[in-house]
Amino acid sequence: MKITELFNTYDLVKKPLQIPYIIAEIGVNYEGSMDTAKRLIDEAKEGGADAVKFQTYKASTIASKNSPSYWDTTKEPTTSQFKLFQKHEKFWKKEMTELKEYADKADIEFMSTPFDMESAEFLNELMDVYKISSSDITNKPFIEYMCGFNKPILLSTGASYMHEVQEAVSWIENYGNPLALLNCVLNYPTPDENANLGMIVDLKNKFPNHLIGYSDHTLPKEMKVCEIATLLGSVIIEKHFTHDKTLQGNDHYHAMDKEDLKLFRRNLKSTFEILGSFDLTALEDEKISRKNARRSLVAMKDLKVGHTITRDDLTFKRPAFGISPKFIEDVIGKTVIKDITEDDVLQWNMLS
């Protein structure tokens, strides 16, 4: 499924839960290597992702030279945002176009988060949706610029108060772009106790007309955090993706790899098999239980032809082969037209 199909077909009312659209956030985990970037696309496809997403930026337009870090410096020792972004700013329009073409051949959707107007402009030719980072949720001119491309918006809500989310949503709604809000905690890595997945429910309640998803920064482990996010109603799951979680630096240390992604897919398959239908109905496998475990009206004593049925003549016992106890008021006052023995299950052809 393409992300635009999700926006076009998802029924906010009739589908309380569904298998989510999964975005493997490669970001800049390709470390400046085209071969590694293509390998990550292949592994994301193998793992079961619906899309790969990169990040497109220049250090000079995203951060001032004295911007301090906000990540775990024991995992990524660079303490300057500017210096870190300089290290990873190698891919621009030519490289992103090549990755888009490669992703198309691999049959996986291509995305990249722009961090400036120039990249937003050329990425318009390469993708069907714009992702807005949590870090830009208060960047009104940039948000409005991307809305101008008339494409769906994915907006992460990390490190935001509700009034900030509401304000950003209002800017986007003014343009009429389809919108998905991705609950997110801007903490690298996010300890499980800080995941606060309950905020997904708040987003669903506050923004019932928009899709709700989850962008995850917890350690992958058994991928249960993403599974719980799905069960809370996230229809989009985004998580950083790498080919080697032991690599030092940037987003490798809290990313999933293809085996984590496969595990997540297996978990989802099993969970949704258990969830089954969201419409309450009796199952075919319950047919014998409906017959044998429910009750019928049963004679408390012998009843001869011509006897008028009273409440004292009746009890209710298993199985449900006869008249249901819900019809007891209709049976009382009927006349017996066929001799009934004590403990017989009553049938309508015994009465007039």
**pLDDT tens digits for range 284-312:** 999 999 999 999 999 999 999 999 999 99
pLDDT > 90 fraction of the chain, expressed in percent and rounded: 84
Q: Which residues contact 180 (CB under 8 A, 6 or more apart)?
A: 7, 152, 153, 154, 155, 210, 211, 212, 213, 235, 236
pLDDT tens column, 91-143:
999 999 999 999 999 999 999 999 999 999 999 999 999 999 999 999 999 99
> What is the model's pLDDT at position 182?
98
Whether residue 331 is predicted with pLDDT greater than 90 in this model: the reply is yes
Hey, do 3-275 and 286-350 end up sharing a CATH topology, with the first three levels equal? no
pLDDT at 87: 65
Mean pLDDT lowest for which of 17-21, 30-34, 71-75, 164-168?
71-75
Q: Is the pLDDT of residue 27 over 70?
A: yes
CATH 3.40.50.970 fits 286-350, yes or no: no
Cα–Cα distance between 262 and 239 in angstroms, integer?
A: 13
- Taking the C-alpha atoms of residue 260 and residue 275, their distance in angstroms, rounded to an integer, is 22
261-to-176, 201, 223 alpha-carbon distances in Å:
33, 24, 8
> Is a pLDDT exceeding 80 seen at residue 61?
no
Alpha helices in the chain (DSSP H): 3-9, 34-47, 59-62, 81-87, 93-106, 117-123, 140-147, 162-175, 198-206, 224-231, 258-275, 287-292, 328-331
pLDDT digits (tens, 9 = 90+) for 201-231: 999 999 999 999 999 999 999 999 999 999 9
The confidence score (pLDDT) of residue 246 equals 92
Asked if residue 60 has pLDDT above 80, the reply is no
Q: Cα–Cα distance between 44 and 264 in angstroms, integer?
A: 12
Contacts of 90 (CB under 8 A, 6+ apart): 32
pLDDT of residue 13: 58
User: Which tens digits make up the pLDDT trace of 225-267?
Assistant: 999 999 999 999 999 999 999 998 778 989 999 999 999 999 9
Domains in the chain: boundaries: 3-275, 286-350
Average pLDDT, the chain: 93
Question: What would the mean pLDDT of 20-39 be, rounded to a whole number?
Answer: 96
**Location of structure tokens 């009927």:** 334
Helix H or strand E segment including 27: strand 21-27
Instruction: Identify the band that residue 19 occupies on the pLDDT scale cut at 50, 70 and 90.
Output: very high
Contact 299, 313 (CB under 8 A): yes
Asked whether the whole model's pTM tops 0.85, one would answer: yes
Contact yes or no for 284/67 (Cβ under 8 A): no
CATH for 3-275, among 3.20.20.70, 3.20.20.80, 3.50.50.60, 3.40.50.300? 3.20.20.70
Question: Residue 14 pLDDT more than 70?
Answer: no
Q: What was the pLDDT predicted at 58?
A: 84
Which DSSP state fits 312?
G
DSSP 230-266: HHTT-SEEEEEB-S-TT--STTSTT-B-HHHHHHHHH
Over residues 80-85, the mean pLDDT reads 66
Give the residue with greater pLDDT, 63 vs 219: 219
